[in-house]
């Protein structure tokens, strides 16, 4: 996903407006003074209106006759939108809502990724394995900086969702990746985090062996480690690993261990 700030004046205006909303400079319910914003951002009124249309499409602002353009309640925002997620995690202000969002995303990962890895173990192709191998190898490179480690981790989880060969699960990358990138920037910048390679390697080995149960167990262990890392460095209190949902079957689970045909 290319951030709006890399898309010229229009994109920079969208970014500036979004960050003002997230920072509270433009609080929920407030009516926007378009003339003042036009002057402050040094853009044309047309450019400002076009940028506000982007935020309107994401549920962040709206326009009404007699009231004008106003900031909508957070409950109206499209929180699953990749840009809205990114803006929240890049905000300089940390609020209870932001902490709750990170907890929510951790819970979403705990539900989606263990189920997704079961499908990946059943459906993975050689190309999928190559992508996962490359990501783990990159993760383990000596001397790599935090940015490199973050990108390698994102590549692994992206490849894992792709290995499910389920288009809807693949689209969940947008939700998972924003929270994961934020967590990774905190964790990989700290000297106190656990080595992530063994946990990721365990997931990869189970997927390679086409063992859904082992893959799910390895993923839950990985998520638990991720929660411990955050707790250890105080990145986000009270965020743990995967939710405890017992031994209920996951997506792709069957009532027995009979091997089903798989795609190569």
Domain boundary assignment for the chain: 4-76, 94-233
> What pLDDT, on a 0 to 100 scale, did the predictor assign at position 140?
83
- CA atoms of 76 and 57, how far apart (whole Å): 11
pLDDT tens, residue by residue, 237-258: 344 445 544 444 444 444 344 4
> What pLDDT, on a 0 to 100 scale, did the predictor assign at position 89?
77
Distance of CA 176 to the CA centre of its chain: 3
Residues of the chain where predicted confidence (pLDDT) is lower than 50: 1-2, 236-241, 244-264
- The whole-model pTM stands at 0.74
> What pLDDT, on a 0 to 100 scale, did the predictor assign at position 228?
82
Look at the domain 4-76 and name its fold: Arc Repressor Mutant, subunit A (1.10.10)
What residues have CB less than 8 Å from 66, skipping those under 6 apart? none
CATH no. of 94-233:
1.20.120.530
> What pLDDT, on a 0 to 100 scale, did the predictor assign at position 51?
96
How many Cα atoms sit within 13 Å of 16 on the Cβ side? 16
- CA atoms of 216 and 117, how far apart (whole Å): 6
- CA atoms of 156 and 138, how far apart (whole Å): 10
3-state secondary structure labels for all residues of 205-216: HHHHCCCHHHHH
> What pLDDT, on a 0 to 100 scale, did the predictor assign at position 106?
84
Contact 4, 83 (CB under 8 A): yes
> What pLDDT, on a 0 to 100 scale, did the predictor assign at position 189?
61
> What pLDDT, on a 0 to 100 scale, did the predictor assign at position 6?
58
């Amino acid at each position: 996903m290319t951030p709006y700030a890399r898309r010229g004046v229009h994109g920079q205006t969208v970014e500036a407006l979004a960050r003002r909303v997230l920072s509270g400079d433009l609080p929920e319910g407030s009516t926007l003074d378009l003339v003042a914003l036009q002057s402050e951002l040094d853009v044309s009124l047309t450019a400002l209106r076009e940028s506000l249309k982007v935020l309107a499409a994401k549920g962040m602002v709206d326009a009404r006759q007699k009231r004008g353009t106003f900031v909508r309640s957070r409950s109206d925002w499209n929180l699953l939108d990749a840009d809205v997620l990114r803006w929240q995690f890049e905000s300089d202000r940390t609020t209870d809502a932001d902490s709750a969002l990170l907890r929510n995303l951790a819970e979403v990962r705990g539900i989606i990724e263990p189920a997704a890895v079961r499908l990946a173990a059943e459906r993975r192709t050689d190309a999928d394995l190559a992508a996962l191998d490359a990501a783990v190898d990159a993760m383990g490179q000596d001397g790599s900086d935090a940015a490199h480690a973050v990108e390698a981790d994102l590549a692994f989880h992206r490849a894992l969702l792709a290995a499910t060969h389920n288009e809807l699960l693949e689209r969940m990358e947008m939700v998972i990746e924003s929270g994961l990138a934020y967590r990774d920037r905190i964790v990989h910048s700290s000297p106190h985090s656990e080595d992530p390679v063994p946990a990721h390697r365990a997931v990869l080995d189970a997927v390679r062996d086409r063992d859904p149960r082992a893959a799910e167990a390895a993923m839950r262990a990985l998520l638990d480690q991720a929660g411990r890392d955050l707790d250890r460095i105080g990145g986000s209190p009270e965020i743990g690993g995967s939710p405890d949902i017992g031994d209920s079957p996951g997506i792709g689970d069957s009532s027995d261990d009979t091997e089903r045909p798989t795609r190569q």
